[in-house]
Structure 1
Amino acid sequence: MQTKQSTRAEGPAQVGGSMERAAERTVPRMLMAGAERFADRPAVIDGGTELTYRELLARALEVARGAIALGVRPGDRVGIWAPNTHRWVVASLGLHCAGATVVPLNTRYRGREAREILGRVRATAVFLDNGFLGYDYAAALRERDEDEPALDGLAVVDMLDGGDGLGWADFLAGGAAVSEETARRTALAVDPDDLSEIIFTSGTTGRAKGVTIPHGACLDLYASYGRIWGLRPGDRYLVSLPFFHTGGNKAGMITSLMNGLTIVPLPVFDPAEVLRIVESVRVSVMNGPPTVYYALLESPERASRDLGSLRVAATGAAVVPVALVERARSELPFEHFITAYGMTECFGTATMCRQGDSADVIARTNGRALPGIELRVVDAEGRDLPPGEPGEVLIRGANVTPGYWEDPDATAQAIDPGGWLHSGDVGTLDADGNLKITDRIKDLFFVGGFNVSPAEVEQALARHPAVSEVAVIGVPDARLGEVARAYVVRRRGAEATGEEIIAWVRERLANFKVPRTVEFVDELPRNASGKVLRRDLRAAL
């Protein structure tokens, strides 16, 4: 009889048929428990700012009081548009204590992108670190195109006390009208099934989709994650993945706080600065896309820095280069370097390697399912495939999102009636349950670890007055893994250079989405139904 190519995580770690349960199943309760358990241990080190676990709780409750005084109520959606700093950590935890659902915004978004998301979730407030990378977030929120609805009633809080919006000092001062006891009661009233975040991810239709993430199930997942990875109190975790991403938010910030680690937030990745921080702060834990490790391995400053504190590391992407894993394991001083796999729709993680796995397993697979998570690999008709046969990867477990924010059609397309999340990734399972991702079904590509939807970029390009038709694909890039390339059919009689079109798009989209090259063509390859054949464009590379 043929063996099905499906697997479930090892049984002993399962509790009640699902993942092992976190002791405190809401972010506020987890934070309060951490203040008791880890007390005066450093929770965050950010340049000259250091907060202990007790101080972090006190700061979060202060933010909660300010948010409640501002009119934020349990269940309200509140945006954070800011880079990785201690301010992001304090603001997000405070908003959770106020019962709010945090809506993280990509720091590279342009104004229209941010406004669309804030409007769609009907946000009551947004917290900014205004001016990051020279971009005026506050001014961008005030702008409005003719076809956009107004963001009525949106409170803007500037965490840097700049000139726009409500300054940080005034925001906190307003919280004096709310007692700490009220803030604590509100924090304790948060339920494990309440939404902690709505994290937006690109889709193949070009419209970002809001992945809903509840407190309890997500904390359960990362209780398993931290245990399997081997994290321990006192570790110092350089969080280079952005907090607006599950990798930085959940696998980074939340996992650190659950396990008594010190969060070392990194707002902008620069190899020389990373090496300096590792040495000066004695960083022991890292996580990031392959790009991060390539940059460290190639940095000319690596040999002059003391990196002996590095202990454990993880990387993940749709396809992780085997050569990178081999180099990182041999040239960097990590005791434990693993690969993992996941997507926002399963809270960022579904599989990971284990300590004790062979070098071959770590280098050539994405590890096994976490406790309580089931995997299948199926053919186009949904039939299970035998070990080693490639097919679409399906995921089921409590880590699968309840759905996309107010988008039942997209939810039904992604999660079938049996509860299986259709990843759109192609992979194989071996006899031991190790998953190996080999390709992607979806048209998404990944620039420096960020998802990019070709349709979204194409929609922006199509508005250029010289563009008649356009198709976008990801092409290999030594530094970022992939970058966008646009194939453009000019309008009749129109003239525009590739540089002009790129500059035009850069004003409208986040930089990582902007094509690096433009190829002008007479026509695009299409099938009989008129659909553009991106695979033909890729094949011509």
Structure 2
Amino acid sequence: MRPRELEDGKKLWQGTGERFIYNENTSIGEILFNSMSAFPSNICQIHDSEDGPQIMTNREALLKAFAVAKFIDEIDLRQDRDVITVISPNTMNILPVVLGAFFKAIPISPMFTDFQPTVFKHILRITAPKLIFVDQKNFENIAEIVEELNFHQSVVIVNTESQHMKNILQKSITSFNPDPLRRDSHQTAAIVCSSGTTGLPKAICLSHKCFHMKVNGNITSEDVLLCFSHLFWISGLYQLVTSLTTGATRIITKTPFSGGYFLDLVEKYKPTYVMSSVPQLLQVIKDESLKFRDLSSIRSYIVSGDHIPQNSGDFIERLLTNGRLFVGYGMTEGECAGTLNCSRNTHPTSVGKPGSNSMFKIVDEEGNSLPENEQGEVCFRRIDKVFGGYYRDPEATNKICDREGFLHSKDLGYFDSEGYLYIVGRMTDIFKSRGREYTPFEIERSVLEIPGVFEVCAFGVTDGRSSEVIPGALVVKSRDCTLEESDITAYIERNTVMNLRGGVFFVDEIPRTSTDKYMRRAALEMFNRLRRIEM
């Protein structure tokens, strides 16, 4: 695929194929209602709990969702005016809550259960919800924050484990129709949090239209889906929507992710379709029991959110005897626009080609479009709509979105002559050392080639003697690895044009955000602490 040449000389890379399947005025609530009503006896989700598997059919989920929608009516919430916040891990009660909000076309704002109070307060101040569904762990904390924000009298807070919640779900509603959209499918369906790598998270608006996208691929009612993502991750929301629109069964759990537990679930429920972050995949590879496990049920294993070491990708793909590993790229702000690499055998380090609803350009510092094989900032958008913006933050929206509707990712990358995208780093992470520009990604990619290296996070550190910025890194070793820190620096100097004069420290884990992105600032602080101890 070559870039499309426009009259003004700009070069765009654009996906092909079917883009969306529903009309302009359809809500995600109407889509889910129709899909689930057509197959009422299908098992929509199985909750793996300490008490054993808990099963819910489409019929059961719909009746509970009707009850939630009735409760929303009783407290007089309205679309285009109100917001419903959800703070809970994946449990049986959360699906009816989300469906009830979708049926009433009221935006949901899912948040991570382990957010710090400052983050909860920040997002609640922005969204000003009228209804909050919260788990037991966070109930008192959220109640205090709501009171501190001085809108406690206008907010209903429901503990998802309380008798109040049980009473809501037991309302007898046998006949129900979802509310139509008052405007069109560009209305906001969900408000999700950005990764927060550069500060407090932003509140990202996802439209009903973004869920129109065929995110299900070849999934059918015979498939079983497994994804550990909370609903505050866009992958968690898409997994929920995909399972309900296809009739597939979704496996959920509130147990934290670990490589061993993931492998337990694979052998227990035989999922055919798996989604995870790259760090989660690396935990699976690191698990000592992996060589004895059966992964034969997995047909598609999709990873995203970070670059995947080639040797790790090759290793896990050899174990997928009946499946393949796919690598994706995108931003939550992209509303389902992005890339997917379906050809790791020929382009192992690429994040793939643009999806059917995606349009890309690569630009230089002045915003000029660049041709293939030239590195610049990766910018992209959905073909059929422009980013819905950050909720109640037009200034931040204007900063990320240009006049053509393209999102500026701050990622550095390029397209090759076949239309494959390669990500080479973050613009904000570039540093200069002795006249040479470094991106952490290029250092990390080289270090990951060393046998025994499991993870690496690189950055520029200050040389205490000269105040010069020099490359340094934190490294996680694989089990039974006998590497010394000096082996890492020597390898880089011997095999590349780079160096690690700032030094290397081995650590058990590298700091990450709630969305599994490297927290480079925190990693650098850890590095400096270790350096002071050594001195």
TM value normalised by structure 1:
0.74
Work out the CA distance in 1 between the residues paired with 2:326 and 2:397: 31
1:272 corresponding residue in structure 2: 260
2:506 corresponding residue in structure 1: none
* Contact 2:337 2:380 survives alignment (8 Å): no
Q: Describe the superposition over 1:223-258 as per-residue Cα deviations: whole angstroms up to 9, x where unpaired.
A: 0x322xx323211111112211111112x2112222
The one-letter code matched in structure 2 to 1:428 is Y
The one-letter code matched in structure 2 to 1:266 is T
* Contact 2:285 2:312 survives alignment (8 Å): no
Q: Describe the superposition over 1:413-458 as per-residue Cα deviations: whole angstroms up to 9, x where unpaired.
A: 1111111111111111012211111101245999xxxxxxx9xxxx
1:335 corresponding residue in structure 2: 323
* Contact 1:7 1:433 survives alignment (8 Å): no
Does residue 219 of structure 1 match 2:211? yes
2:351 corresponding residue in structure 1: 366
2:341 corresponding residue in structure 1: 353
* Contact 1:65 1:180 survives alignment (8 Å): no
Q: Describe the superposition over 1:187-234 as per-residue Cα deviations: whole angstroms up to 9, x where unpaired.
A: 677852321101121457624221111112x1233x0x322xx32321
Once the two structures are superposed, the pairs formed by residues 56-67 of structure 1 within 5 Å of their partners are 56-67=61-72
* Contact 1:144 1:150 survives alignment (8 Å): no
- Alpha-carbon offset, residue 279 of structure 1: 1.1
Once the two structures are superposed, the pairs formed by residues 246-261 of structure 1 within 5 Å of their partners are 246-250=234-238, 252-261=239-248
- Alpha-carbon offset, residue 348 of structure 1: 4.9
The one-letter code matched in structure 2 to 1:102 is I
Residue 191 (structure 2) aligned to one of 193, 198, 201? 198
1:408 corresponding residue in structure 2: 394
Work out the CA distance in 1 between the residues paired with 2:279 and 2:195: 20
TM value normalised by structure 2:
0.75
Give secondary structure in 1 for the equivalent of 2:203. Answer: strand
Work out the CA distance in 1 between the residues paired with 2:344 and 2:527: 48
The one-letter code matched in structure 2 to 1:240 is F
Does residue 85 of structure 1 match 2:72? no
1:140 corresponding residue in structure 2: 141
Residue 288 (structure 1) aligned to one of 276, 297, 316? 276
The one-letter code matched in structure 2 to 1:114 is F
Residue 60 (structure 2) aligned to one of 42, 55, 61? 55
Work out the CA distance in 1 between the residues paired with 2:514 and 2:178: 40
2:109 corresponding residue in structure 1: 103
Relative to structure 1, the CA distance from residue 190 to residue 402 in structure 2 (aligned partners, 3 Å threshold; closer, same or farther) is: closer
Does residue 297 of structure 1 match 2:285? yes
* Contact 2:119 2:200 survives alignment (8 Å): no
1:312 corresponding residue in structure 2: 300
- Provide the aligned C-alpha RMSD in A: 3.6
1:497 corresponding residue in structure 2: none
Relative to structure 1, the CA distance from residue 246 to residue 476 in structure 2 (aligned partners, 3 Å threshold; closer, same or farther) is: farther
Relative to structure 1, the CA distance from residue 203 to residue 280 in structure 2 (aligned partners, 3 Å threshold; closer, same or farther) is: closer
Relative to structure 1, the CA distance from residue 323 to residue 358 in structure 2 (aligned partners, 3 Å threshold; closer, same or farther) is: closer
Give secondary structure in 1 for the equivalent of 2:294. Answer: coil
Once the two structures are superposed, the pairs formed by residues 162-201 of structure 1 within 5 Å of their partners are 167-172=164-169, 175=171, 181=175, 183-186=176-179, 191-201=184-194
Work out the CA distance in 1 between the residues paired with 2:222 and 2:281: 23
Work out the CA distance in 2 between the residues paired with 1:195 and 1:45: 29
Give secondary structure in 2 for the equivalent of 1:86. Answer: coil
Relative to structure 1, the CA distance from residue 478 to residue 149 in structure 2 (aligned partners, 3 Å threshold; closer, same or farther) is: farther
Work out the CA distance in 1 between the residues paired with 2:330 and 2:44: 26
Greater relative CO (CA pairs within 8 A, separation 6+):
1
- Alpha-carbon offset, residue 83 of structure 1: 0.9
* Contact 1:426 1:437 survives alignment (8 Å): yes
Give secondary structure in 2 for the equivalent of 1:364. Answer: coil
